[in-house]
C-alpha cells in the first residue's frame, strides 16, 4: 500500500510513538485520525498538522467510542485502510511484596488497555476495511500493533505489562489468518527502550544507564524510528503476521 493513499487511525496518536507515526504518515501524504484520551493534546496536534488530520477523543476499551472514531474517519476522509495501535500503559509491581500481593485491579487495568483495547480497535477497524474496495494488489487494509520486548524479556515487576504485550504478540498470527481472506495484513512491532515522554521524566543518569544497556547503537530508540518501521510495514505488501523487534539488540536483564 502506498503511503500517499493511506487513511489511518492511530491510537495513542497524541504523544510518543503514536505522535511520531502520525507525523510520518501525514508528512508523506497520508490522512490520519488521532485517537487518544479526552484531555490529551490530540486536538492541538491535529490543528498543527492541518486539514489532513482529525482528532477523535476516545478510550480504546470503549467499543462505542472507538466505533465513533472509525465512523468519523470514514465520514471525514472517505475510508479507513490503516490502523496503528500505539495506545498503552505500563506499571511496575511485583507478584508479591511486603505490601502484599500484586493488586488485581492494577493487573486487570493493564490487560484491559494494552490487550483488550488493542483487539477492540482491530475488530472494529477490520469490519470497516472489509467493506471497502482494494486499493493495491487486492489489499484492503493494514494493521500495525505495538507490543514490547517485555513480551519476551519481561523484567522484575513487569508481570502485568509483559502479559499484556505477550498477548498482543500471541494474537498477531491468528488475527492475520482471520483477516487474510479479506485482504488485510497484520503485523506487530516490539520496541525496546525508546525516548518517549514517559521516559523523558526520568533523571538523566537513569536515561544514560538505560541507553548503556543497548548493544548498538547504545542510545535510546527514537520515536521516528518506530514510525519509519510502521510506514515500511504499510508499504511492504509481503509483510504479514510478523512481530518485529526494534531494540538495538537489547535483551532485558531481570532488573
Residues with catalytic function:
161
Minimal CA–CA distance to 60: which of 15, 16, 120, 17?
Answer: 120
- How far, in Å, are 22, 56, 228 from residue 52 at the CA level? 11, 13, 19
CB 3 within 8 Å of CB 32: no
Distance of CA 102 to the CA centre of its chain: 26
Query: CA 127, 129, 131, 132: dihedral to nearest 10 degrees?
Result: 170
Amino acid at each position: 500500500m502506498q503511503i500517499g493513499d493511506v487513511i489511518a487511525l492511530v491510537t495513542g496518536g497524541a504523544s510518543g510513538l503514536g505522535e511520531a507515526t502520525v507525523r510520518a504518515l501525514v508528512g508523506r501524504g497520508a490522512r490520519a485520525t488521532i485517537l487518544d484520551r479526552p484531555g490529551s493534546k490530540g486536538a492541538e496536534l491535529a490543528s498543527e498538522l492541518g486539514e489532513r488530520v482529525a482528532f477523535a477523543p476516545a478510550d480504546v476499551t470503549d467499543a462505542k467510542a472507538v466505533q465513533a472514531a472509525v465512523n468519523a474517519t470514514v465520514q471525514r476522509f472517505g475510508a479507513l485502510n490503516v490502523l496503528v495501535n500505539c495506545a498503552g500503559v505500563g506499571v511496575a509491581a511485583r507478584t508479591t511484596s511486603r505490601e502484599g500481593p500484586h493488586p488485581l485491579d492494577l493487573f486487570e487495568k493493564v490487560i484491559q488497555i494494552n490487550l483488550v483495547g488493542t483487539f477492540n480497535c482491530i475488530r472494529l477497524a477490520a469490519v470497516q476495511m472489509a467493506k471497502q474496495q482494494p486499493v493495491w494488489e487486492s489489499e484492503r487494509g493494514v494493521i500495525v500493533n505495538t507490543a514490547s520486548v517485555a513480551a519476551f524479556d519481561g523484567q522484575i515487576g513487569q508481570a502485568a505489562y509483559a502479559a499484556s504485550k505477550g498477548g498482543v504478540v500471541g494474537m498477531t498470527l491468528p488475527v492475520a489468518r482471520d483477516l487474510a481472506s479479506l485482504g488485510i495484513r497484520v503485523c506487530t512491532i516490539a520496541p525496546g527502550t525508546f525516548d518517549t515522554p514517559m521516559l523523558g521524566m526520568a533523571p538523566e543518569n537513569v536515561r544514560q544507564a538505560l541507553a548503556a544497556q543497548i548493544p548498538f547503537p547504545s542510545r535510546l530508540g527514537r520515536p521516528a524510528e518506530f514510525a519509519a518501521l510502521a510506514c515500511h510495514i504499510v508499504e511492504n505488501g509481503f509483510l504479514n503476521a510478523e512481530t518485529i523487534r526494534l531494540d538495538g539488540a537489547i535483551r532485558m536483564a531481570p532488573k
